[in-house]
Amino acid sequence: MPWPTCGINALRGSEAAVVRIEDYADTPRGYRVLHLVGKGNKPAPMPLSVPVLRVLAACRGQRVHGQLILRPVSGQAINRRDSYRMVARIAKAAGIPRHISPHSLRRAAITNALDTGVPLRDAQILARHADPRTTLPRSPRRQPTHLPPNETRRCRRASVPSRSAS
């Protein structure tokens, strides 16, 4: 299953559903990179780790071109809705009582990066967010521990809409 790409590389469900075999290839420096088109038709090259490469190779099998993820029975390409159904089915089979979606995996990857001390800018790049405030955890209980206190306050202040006097 290709869902480690959502959980490790913070892909959106729609991005994971349209990955083609031709989209990941060697680069001149020897790294494997997934070339995908992200939200807003922005190119989003993404380096791939060895565990993700193993999963992609298993999905690919002997095929050399075409859609990477196929429906198990029909062999047709999947869409975004199929990706949500597949992740929910895997979570249910694993005994996870909550609703899990590809976006849950994406959020977990970003949160884990922030929790382990990855700088906010690097987590923002991983998430492909234009604004760092989008990358910050939304829960007031989850204060980013990797930022100096004054920067945390500044980011929080910037994310709260200003109150204009009437």
Residue 165 has pLDDT above 50, yes or no: no
Strand order of the β-sheet with 43-47 is 24-26, 32-37, 43-47
Over residues 83-96, the pLDDT tens digits come to 888 888 888 998 98
- The pLDDT assigned to 160 comes to 47
- Alpha helices per DSSP H over 39-94: 50-60, 80-93
- All structural domains of the chain, each given as residue ranges with its CATH number in brackets, are 4-98 (1.10.443.10), 103-159 (no CATH)
Sign of CA dihedral 116, 122, 128, 130: positive
CA distance 8 to 131: 21
Over residues 27-56, the pLDDT tens digits come to 767 778 888 887 888 888 888 888 888 888
Inter-residue contact 8 to 52 (CB < 8 Å): yes
Tokens of 160: 């709260």
- The pLDDT assigned to 161 comes to 47
Over residues 105-129, the pLDDT tens digits come to 888 888 888 888 888 888 888 888 8
